[in-house]
Amino acid sequence: MAARITHHEALIYTMVLVSAADREMPDIELESMSDMVAHLPVFRDFKTRKIGKIGGECAKLLADENGLDKAFKLIRKGLPKKLRETAYALACDVAAADGKVSEEESRVLELIRDQLDIGRLAAAAIERGARARHLTV
């Protein structure tokens, strides 16, 4: 396990955690991750071709014993405090991308909130924003 990951990797790990929560990673969620990495300002200095490699590293880590705990430890170390709400927002957008949030995804979002010390009010606002962005007629 790496001793430290970059803030870009921490954000991607957070998205992968929620996408892999129900043991499926639907194309729509992968496309959502790729789109966010390609267009959001926080990823401006990131080489988008690395997303697959980083996602694979995270998935491999999650398969290890205590992989989720190890992933959270890396995320907390690599993520500046000012990007914690950003990480949670990205995770919420991935969970909402397919139009439904599974029970497993909801549980992982709760763990992310706890691990990143996201307050209840901020979390509710972020969740509501993700829901609004992903609604369809």
The CATH number of whichever domain residue 39 belongs to comes to 1.10.3680
In which domain, by residue range, is 106 found? 7-134
Question: pTM for the complete prediction?
Answer: 0.93
Residue 27 is predicted with a pLDDT of 82
Q: 90-113: per-residue pLDDT in tens? A: 999 999 998 888 899 999 999 999
pLDDT reported for residue 11? 97
Query: Is 37 contained in some domain?
Result: yes
1 part of a folded domain: no
Q: Are the CB atoms for 25 and 97 separated by under 8 Å? A: no
73-93 burial: b if 16+ Cβ within 10 Å, else e: ebbeebbeeebbbbbbbbbbb
Is the residue at 2 inside a domain? no
Mean pLDDT of the chain: 92
- Give the total number of structural domains in the chain: 1
User: The tokens of 46 are what?
Assistant: 């990131």
**Position 24 in a domain:** yes
